[in-house]
Structure 1
């Protein structure tokens, strides 16, 4: 029933064949927690774009939001890449089945690959910036007060956070990275494993420099 709603908090959900196919794929592949989170990321990202007066492609934003955590799922996870890159690659492969330009595919790829790398996405094109803005709002509460009570309530009424979303999303992050801890080097998922995996040893940039094979 929720997927049939055309507008949530004033944001129209894309209803093209591509968007419907993406929704069906994510719904069938991801957990309920990640599916509802991804839809909220789109809505909060789109609301941010409206508030900032940005011109963005809603369909591309939707694909970026819906695929941004796909790399946490076993069927789309590689053995060596960051989960963000796995999700970006899944979106890229999906988009190649549709009439989408390479530049637009690159924007979606960047929006997913960079969404856990603070300080960069906001300087990129709108789709990239807004996927991260949606993630930061839903996971970290960044810019929480820039949204109205009505906007937050309507988004969460249609796509509930539940009582344990904070712990649930941390568990999903942990599950998606614990088997390849090297992929957390230089990104925020190192914080997750440090908190949740007692065997985890954080990669250290300074040690890597000082212990390299260079003599000086």
Structure 2
């Protein structure tokens, strides 16, 4: 999709990063992801940034933008590995991209972690702002967490610029399934086990306790 980007500079009072790196990331994601994932990723940035603003958190908008834009790249054919969690594939894609722009290692680590942990509830909120806010944005857009903490005007403005498809709930589950169905072992211990349990009749969950009890240890 080599569509030219004519996007508003500010949405719901949140400015979109406009550096050379941010513009390149936007174009890369736009060319790689379908409309559903692209619009979802943009919304994640705005929800995350609005959350940071509401909580008076100090965060780097550009790093938050990188985490939001790359967080689902591991679901695409271009970046999916054969054996890693899709979250790690997206994190690795972001790391390689950021390294090519000379971003400091500490910042790269924060973006990598924000993507790798974005489907791990209860942990990112205790970490640095980039990590916490990417997950907050994902949880708002996918799960509706903290929905009422955003004003109706904020929700309407973000979704006017980056619409939720009428079947987004079902469609995003389908995207998760497509990104994991060929590597079901990557669902162990994470929420994608629920996705394949719903979408793949041949899927069998691995059980943590069974693995412990079947280990080679004698006791």
Question: When the two structures are superposed, what TM-score results if normalisation uses the length of structure 1?
Answer: 0.98
2:198 equivalent in structure 1: 195
Selected match of 2:112 from 109, 114, 134? 109
1:175 paired residue number: 178
| 2:38 partner SS | helix
Confirm or deny that 1:74 pairs with 2:77: yes
TM-score, normalization by structure 2: 0.97
- CA distance in 2: counterparts of 1:81 and 1:4, whole angstroms: 33
Contact 1:2–1:158, Cα closer than 8 Å, also in 2: no
Deviations 1:161-198 (A, max 9, x none): 02010011000000000000000011001000001100
Detail structure 1 runs of 4+ shifted over 4 Å in the superposition: none
Structure 2: which 5+ runs fail to align? none
Structure 1 residue runs of 5 or longer lacking an equivalent are none
What secondary structure does 1:28 align onto? helix
| 1:3 Cα offset (Å) | 4.0
In structure 1, how many angstroms separate the alpha carbons of the residues matched to 2:118 and 2:30? 21
Select which of 9, 31, 53 maps to 1:6.
9
Pick the aligned partner of 1:15 from 4, 14, 18: 18
Q: Counterparts of 2:155 and 2:98 in 1: how far apart (Å)?
A: 30
Alpha-carbon separation, structure 1, partners of 2:5 and 2:163: 11
What is the match of residue 49 of structure 2? 46
In 1, Cα distance between equivalents of 2:79 and 2:167? 25
